[in-house]
Structure 1
């Protein structure tokens, strides 16, 4: 999720005042010191695994719902760009309460609403009571107390926002506890959800946290996962396996198997091609957007640079590539973001992919995005990382569960933008196991076996 700057937060808030392998981990924790990895790395399947529930909205939000979540650091965005039609949910144990939250690798704060909370409408409408669509959230008081004189706030370019305060509570995920964890409680918001979640789990680096005090000088703090790996005997890595939403193919009364996981300290229990591992450094926050004027070597988000992007037409009968694939080696920073449905790539490249559909994808002004007939021939598109190419499956490039109002056109799984940040979102992540190695500032990917 991408946030806008802190000044926008304040402006809006003022307006409302009134195949599975088993192996030995190569990293060894000694206190909080992480030994560098060997040239040949092996990650182990961890027991600290949390199932993730994928949920597709019945009426997907269109581009006016693109969310950009902000941070106070020099107008620095924390990224989640989402054409909000599918997201992934886990249950957090917060104190003694179970809170469902969406999972976001494009931000660092963890927040949830508190009952009762105030839902407001962005536009004044006397005849309609606003409904933010958030669940029940946290009840009562945080056991560790509140942080005095420090406000929490986020504003979004679509007009949504959250406001509240910070405090301390124990948070448990996958049997691991972050004791006395800094959390944000939201008591005022304009939002649009569907009642499935009550907040958000941010998995980014500490650099992207924000405590906005009276002097705007509060220090960053450790997010939930950072606290967990510093205080528990696990490697400082987490991994994600997102399975695409295929409820449309499930028989009545027999939902699909649970195959999406968040794994702490190792790999999730899914099948993948062990020969396909590719690795690449996580780049510092200064790599994302030069106009931010940030020269910090700090890591904030999971930013990488791919070796190349490959794409081309396929035969509508055999599915084989027609001619040669284009190998585009244009270099640009791109964010790995589990909170974004679509992948966002530069316009010229995206236009070539749109044209490679048969018939070509077309822009639907009623949606603000590109769609193709749901029975169109889907091109080949892959991302080369660390010398390995990871292809996006046809069902992710042409998303059968995201249709226009006629039901005849399906949404293309990539969208174009010449303005950073660019994103590899759910449509890419549904095809890989993604390892976020925060100890060594490295991303690793392996291709998922067909599922």
Structure 2
């Protein structure tokens, strides 16, 4: 969700807008027989805009584009040739102002859906255009006649090398509209839903019902580089801890029921955060806010959006202190500022951030804090764990089980049991052995016997 997409779609439309901790008793899935496919299911990502945006290559028919893989939204779209770029005042701008790269020409395999249109809202703007069917390929996995958007009017922006968005969210947030039903001030209203790309892949037997993300950080002053991996039913080749934290996907309390067809249901990759810890580099007893809150895990956001009562005391420990600018909603900071340690506790395990992940470099070379206040809308707020968190973990998003799984990266800030004052050193991950296997979980040795007993019981039940 580039700068918090699906939720901010409406709240910022004025732009124009408890289970057992770290469940190690998760069993390996019983794999379906998948259809044969060509190509790799682990796809490299490219980082752009100083590592604040990540892109993946996707083919529309015979044309290739870089799109943002976004767990905060659900549509797949590309800008079409001749699209119009607007600012928030609906003034037409040169196409270059929207910072997109190559544009899509309707191919021989594209078929327009004439009774529906495409209209999606994001924190950075809106995207409007045609809805149609096109053959889509991602990492050598091809879906014939996938529903896609072809954008011909937008206030949204790219990163100069990408051309749209690959939504990795739930079907309920897809953005098809009957002709005449689209309200551009509220693109989440009056929608009909369709299967996002990865759902289509799974239903066609091409992938398991989960994907993984590993985001790489770029060195300071590097504009474009290696961005990590997107895995389709596979884990990326990234060394990680053998501690696996499993968090169920929750119904997002801040999303009004009117936007989910009158039914309380899962809309986002939302989980419960137990607490947030912070403190100085030598502080053995960090400060903590132990009030539980929900957060969307969002690959499209370069920020962590957290409650002000957490953000402000963390910013006060920056050296020099950082202060939120009310006009811009960001906190400027020197690029070489010293920052406190930051840990996010999920299911009893605290995932620590590397210090460098708390400072973002902007295209003009200046720097800002990677922390922002809770996004507001509908009289409520929604928090996001964005790229600063995700750069420190290998993440699994399982839409078959409606759960997420996290493993601390060996080159990240590490993981510790909640309440423990000792933690692995930055860059060292956990003291446990690293793992790069393609299993969904790797059990800590002390719990292996219990896990095996459950596995045997599950096999007996399945038979």
Give the TM-score, by structure 1 length.
0.76
Report SS of the residue matched to 2:332.
strand
Map 1:214-253; keep pairs closer than 5 Å.
214=179, 216=181, 219-246=192-219, 248=221
- Quick one: structure 1 residues 131 and 238, their matched pair in 2 at CA, closer, same or farther if it must change by over 3 Å? same
Q: Give the alignment partner of residue 232 of structure 2, picking from 264, 268, 271.
A: 264
Take 2:290 and 2:109, find their aligned partners in 1: how far apart are those partners? 52
The answer for the alignment partner of 2:149 in structure 1 is: 184
The answer for the alignment partner of 2:358 in structure 1 is: 397
- Quick one: structure 1 residues 140 and 25, their matched pair in 2 at CA, closer, same or farther if it must change by over 3 Å? farther
Report SS of the residue matched to 2:273.
coil
The answer to whether the 8 A contact 1:347-1:418 is kept is: no
Report SS of the residue matched to 1:335.
strand
The answer to whether the 8 A contact 1:288-1:334 is kept is: no
Q: Give the alignment partner of residue 174 of structure 1, picking from 136, 139, 143.
A: 139
**Is residue 55 of structure 1 aligned with residue 55 of structure 2?**
no
Report SS of the residue matched to 1:428.
helix
**Is residue 111 of structure 1 aligned with residue 104 of structure 2?**
no
- Quick one: structure 1 residues 386 and 6, their matched pair in 2 at CA, closer, same or farther if it must change by over 3 Å? closer
**Is residue 26 of structure 1 aligned with residue 28 of structure 2?**
yes
Q: What is the RMSD computed on CA atoms of the aligned residues?
A: 3.4
Deviations 1:131-180 (A, max 9, x none): 3222222112462511112111134566x322111111111112212221
Q: CA deviation at 1:415?
A: 1.4
- Quick one: structure 1 residues 100 and 379, their matched pair in 2 at CA, closer, same or farther if it must change by over 3 Å? same
Give the TM-score, by structure 2 length.
0.74
- Quick one: structure 1 residues 27 and 243, their matched pair in 2 at CA, closer, same or farther if it must change by over 3 Å? same
- Quick one: structure 1 residues 366 and 298, their matched pair in 2 at CA, closer, same or farther if it must change by over 3 Å? closer
Structure 2's unaligned 5+ residue stretches are: 18-25, 182-189, 412-426, 428-463
- Quick one: structure 1 residues 383 and 339, their matched pair in 2 at CA, closer, same or farther if it must change by over 3 Å? same
The count of corresponding residues between Structure 1 and Structure 2 is 383
Report SS of the residue matched to 1:26.
coil
Q: Give the alignment partner of residue 339 of structure 1, picking from 279, 283, 300.
A: 300
The answer for the alignment partner of 1:348 in structure 2 is: 309
Q: Give the alignment partner of residue 175 of structure 2, picking from 200, 210, 229.
A: 210
Q: CA deviation at 1:215?
A: 6.8
Map 1:134-173; keep pairs closer than 5 Å.
134-141=100-107, 143-156=109-122, 160-173=125-138
- Quick one: structure 1 residues 261 and 193, their matched pair in 2 at CA, closer, same or farther if it must change by over 3 Å? same
The answer to whether the 8 A contact 1:132-1:191 is kept is: yes
- Name whichever of 365-374 and 225-234 sits farther off: 365-374
